[in-house]
Structure 1
């Protein structure tokens, strides 16, 4: 659909590939817009049974692009679009996922990764909070595990991501892991898939309805704060921010 999001179709499955290696598939305004357009096209195509979201390079998504961040409202819209899409959306991850990229995983209906993948909620380390991405994540993940990872920003592996509910499954070969799932989606009736997804996402969408405005405002406030400016500057300069002791 765009230079940043490539689309392919095979036997009822449309694959959307994030292809912005220059910034490790970070969520720039352009990438968010391109992915939203590609999802809209999938939702209108009767031949699309399900959508696979994957990536080029060694990083699925590095989080928000600090040089060209999307407005919080745009990210909320993208996450909700994934949740509301009448087709199941499946994340296929063979690389690293950070910060806002984890929101994409949380919004997807199924998420699988290779055991080489790593994960981290790095927001607290640059002076912000995982606010907007909490909309799909909090209803779907283990609260105690998420508390640790939100507060510390530690890196964790694919088995831990499965345990927390961030991933559906993981294995050395992610395509072998996904093969029976995609076969199941191809065998399912389109109407049945849409209505079953509607049942499964009802609680997530209630969270969007209740909390989206507050979390969008929180994200905007934190990103404009002095601590966030210091944290983002330190990140871009590859140094520790001033508060590290």
Structure 2
């Protein structure tokens, strides 16, 4: 597929998906949504890859919905709006469920739907200058489609405040409420993301994928007999896997595991 709203670069076992509409602050429209979904679907299925970085060109990471797209939506029927929102929801789910770990590299402001893009990623690194805003209620809207990911990322309490007030907040506040994992200077952003990606690549690809699934399945669950049985089955399964056996053997034999060769 030829992409017009983003670029994809591969370096070894790492792919970088870069939003590339800096003239509109990387706001997305139907085309961008379709391309992001396609990119993460293809990269997620690529056995040669170990990690994906989501980045952006220009001063802003993502301003949310494109103004021309919003103008078009204003004339949509309820059915058309529902179908349109589902496309965005499916794109976010594709990132969230991607078998590969996804690191968001937030080099600038991230508003509205852009926060959904970031929240769907596994690890979020932002520069000190980045600002965040869930601005939907200012327009008479709500952040419905992105809410499953944003609420998971920053919690119900912070979501209640920022969904309702549409206040803009900085990177340090995003760190405090748990929306981002690291806040760094612009000059060290590349190095920090590279450090995290190196850690991901050094780990068992199968274990990383299964660890992603584990977090999704266990988070918020009641600790009961069913959960105990489920987690016991997961560890039993991975212990018997090829990479599980190789990882333990390489540790005991004080050598590098085969996946690093």
- Scaled by the length of structure 1, the TM-score of the pair is 0.79
Partner of 2:111: 98
From 199, 204, 208, the counterpart of 1:189:
204
The answer (yes or no) to whether the contact 2:45–2:99 under 8 Å persists in 1 is no
Residue correspondence of structure 1 range 28-67 to structure 2 within 5 A: 28-67=29-68
Asked if 1:166 corresponds to 2:166, the answer is no
1:205: how far off?
A: 11
1:46: how far off?
A: 1.2
Q: Which moved more, 1:114-123 or 1:179-188?
A: 179-188
The secondary structure found in structure 2 opposite 1:6 is strand
Q: 1:161 to 1:92 in 2, by over 3 A?
A: same
Partner of 1:149: 162
Q: CA-to-partner distance for each residue in 1:150-202, whole Å, 9 max, x for gaps?
A: 11111111111111121111111222322321111110111111101111223
1:204: how far off?
A: 7.7
Q: 1:77 to 1:110 in 2, by over 3 A?
A: same
The answer (yes or no) to whether the contact 2:10–2:16 under 8 Å persists in 1 is yes
Q: CA-to-partner distance for each residue in 1:64-114, whole Å, 9 max, x for gaps?
A: 123225810011101111111100111001111000000011110001011
For the residues of structure 2 that align with 1:202 and 1:64, how far apart are their CA atoms?
31
From 126, 133, 136, the counterpart of 1:123:
136
Pairwise CA RMSD of aligned residues?
A: 1.8
Q: 1:73 to 1:32 in 2, by over 3 A?
A: same
The answer (yes or no) to whether the contact 1:135–1:204 under 8 Å persists in 2 is no
Q: 1:59 to 1:31 in 2, by over 3 A?
A: same
The secondary structure found in structure 1 opposite 2:94 is helix
For the residues of structure 2 that align with 1:11 and 1:200, how far apart are their CA atoms?
27
For the residues of structure 2 that align with 1:92 and 1:10, how far apart are their CA atoms?
16
The secondary structure found in structure 2 opposite 1:142 is helix
For the residues of structure 1 that align with 2:24 and 2:67, how far apart are their CA atoms?
10
For the residues of structure 2 that align with 1:75 and 1:90, how far apart are their CA atoms?
20
Structure 1: 5+ residue stretches without partners: 207-245
Asked if 1:86 corresponds to 2:99, the answer is yes
The answer (yes or no) to whether the contact 1:83–1:205 under 8 Å persists in 2 is no
Partner of 1:113: 126
The secondary structure found in structure 1 opposite 2:154 is coil
Partner of 2:7: 6
The secondary structure found in structure 2 opposite 1:139 is helix
For the residues of structure 1 that align with 2:189 and 2:159, how far apart are their CA atoms?
24
Q: 1:9 to 1:188 in 2, by over 3 A?
A: same
Q: How many residues are matched?
A: 206
Question: Which of the pair has more CA radius of gyration?
Answer: 2
The secondary structure found in structure 1 opposite 2:55 is strand
